[in-house]
Amino acid sequence: MINGKRQFGFRHNIIAICYDFDGTLSRRSMQEDTIFKEYGIHAKRFWAEVRRTAKEDGYEKTLSYLNKLIYDAEFQKRPLTESRLSAMAKRIEYYPGVENFFPYINDFVDREAESLGIEVRLEHYIISSGG
């Protein structure tokens, strides 16, 4: 024991939980709740065009969609900015329970760590290609 805490032979006390976004935290892709609504984009037509461009031009699908967002005339007129994206993010529709999950899992890990006499820090990361 060091400083009253049990030691288990490892020195790191961070647990990272990584999540994909689309289909994991939300039913739709995040673009459909944010960018598509903001710019009036029809999702089925957009994704069909992305797939067509990817196939014809040899792009990977995510690169094709990002290329469209960068060079599309509508986005050139009203570019995506950090502040615009932050405002749009507030409109994302999550699966039921997602917003309660994070405090719940944090409390659970804290209780378990305390019962073992160890210190743990839980970190959450969303890893998504955005497509």
pLDDT of the residue at 100:
92
- Token duo for residue 81: 């900015």
pLDDT of the residue at 76:
82
Rounded to whole angstroms, the Cα distance separating 128 from 92 reads: 15
Task: Say what percent of the chain tops pLDDT 90.
Answer: 21
Rounded to whole angstroms, the Cα distance separating 23 from 11 reads: 35
Model confidence, pTM: 0.60
Burial class (CB in 10 A: 0-12, 13-18, 19+), 39: middle
pLDDT of the residue at 103:
94
pLDDT of the residue at 78:
85
In sequence order, what DSSP letters do the residues of 30-48 get, joined into one string? HHHHTHHHHHT--HHHHHH
- Stretch (H or E) spanning 124: strand 121-126
CA-closest candidate to residue 68, choices 82, 54, 81? 54
| Residues of the chain under the 50 pLDDT cut | none
Contact 93, 27 (CB under 8 A): yes
